[in-house]
């Protein structure tokens, strides 16, 4: 796991500002509020939702329903993987539903990031797993939920173009139940570490 000097302090400062801005809001947030909030989000998730730090996901082009579900899970402390606890619990603590909806709409409407640079032959092992699963170990095809082009749908996230390091981190969190999701635990539990890397590489390379 990557720890950047001073980053936690920056996040805490952003969280304090975010809480102050969202406190007691009862009305639909305006464009200025969303702009201020996304400016804070950019500290980790990058300008225009394109993260340049491998362990923070890009949000641009992500499924809106997925973003809404995850922000609410952070706010309610139901998603407890390590980065969620360290960064997102504080950031999401006082976001109301209207602000969450506005943030999700904003990021979902942005152009998705381009594919990660990956050697063509490096995607083939992961492509086989994503398309067909691993029958001998009851690993289902990832494309059954995430789509043939890893575009996702509804509360199922888009994975195309995502940092491979982030995808690996989340698959390992599902495998260990650090991130509680029974379906993903069942899907990921029998993947070997090498297969986790292969799947992440394939998804990252998708446009």
Residue 39: which domain range? 7-109
Per-residue pLDDT of the chain (207 residues; tens, 9 = 90+): 444 445 555 454 554 445 444 444 446 788 888 999 999 999 999 999 999 999 999 999 999 999 999 999 999 999 989 888 999 999 999 999 999 999 999 999 999 999 999 999 999 999 999 999 999 999 999 999 999 899 999 999 999 999 999 999 999 999 999 999 999 999 999 999 999 999 999 999 999
- Evaluate whether residue 115 is within a structural domain: no
In contact, 206 and 161? CB cutoff 8 Å: yes
Residue 112: CB atoms within 10 Å:
20
Helix (H) / strand (E) element for 36: namely helix 31-45
In a domain, 182, yes or no: yes
Q: Quick check: is 40 in a domain?
A: yes
160's tokens = 């195309």
Same domain, 63 and 98: yes
Say yes or no: 143 and 50 in one domain: no
Q: Are residues 99 and 143 part of one domain?
A: no
Do residue 16 and residue 84 come from a single domain? yes
State whether 124 and 82 are in the same domain. no
72 with 98, same domain: the answer is yes
- Note whether 149 and 65 are same-domain residues: no
21 found inside a domain: yes
Number of domains in the chain: 2
Spatial separation of the C-alpha atoms in residues 1 and 125, rounded to whole Å = 25
CATH code, domain with 43: 1.10.760.10
d(CA 122, CA 187): 22
User: What is the reported pTM?
Assistant: 0.86
- The answer to the question of residue 16 being in a domain is yes
Residues 20 and 104 reside in one and the same domain: yes
Domain boundary among 41, 76, 109: 109
- Residue among 82, 83, 79 nearest 184 (CA): 79
State whether 11 and 101 are in the same domain.
Answer: yes
Question: Which of 57, 77, 109 is the last residue before a domain boundary?
Answer: 109
Q: Please check whether residues 91 and 153 belong to one and the same domain.
A: no
In this structure, the answer to whether residues 103 and 20 fall within a common structural domain is yes
Q: CB neighbours of 25 closer than 8 A, spacing ≥ 6?
A: 33, 96, 98, 99
């Amino acid at each position: 796991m990557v720890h950047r000097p001073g980053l936690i302090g920056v996040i805490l400062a952003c969280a304090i500002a975010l809480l102050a801005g969202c406190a007691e809001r009862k009305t639909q947030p305006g464009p200025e509020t969303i702009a201020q909030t996304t400016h804070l989000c950019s500290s980790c998730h990058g300008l225009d939702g394109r993260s340049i730090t491998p362990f923070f996901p890009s949000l641009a082009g992500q499924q809106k329903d997925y973003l809404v579900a995850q922000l609410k899970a952070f706010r309610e402390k139901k998603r407890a993987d390590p980065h969620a606890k360290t960064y997102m619990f504080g950031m999401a603590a006082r976001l109301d539903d209207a602000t969450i909806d506005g943030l999700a709409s904003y990021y979902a409407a942005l152009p998705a990031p381009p594919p990660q640079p990956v050697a063509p032959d490096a995607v083939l092992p992961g492509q086989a797993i994503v398309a067909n699963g691993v029958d001998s170990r009851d690993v289902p095809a990832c494309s059954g939920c995430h789509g043939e082009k890893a575009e996702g749908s509804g509360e199922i996230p888009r994975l195309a173009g995502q940092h491979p390091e982030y995808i690996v981190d989340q698959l390992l969190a599902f495998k260990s139940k650090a991130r509680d999701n029974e379906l993903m635990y069942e899907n990921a539990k029998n993947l070997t570490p090498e297969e986790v890397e292969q799947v992440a590489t394939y998804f990252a390379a998708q446009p």
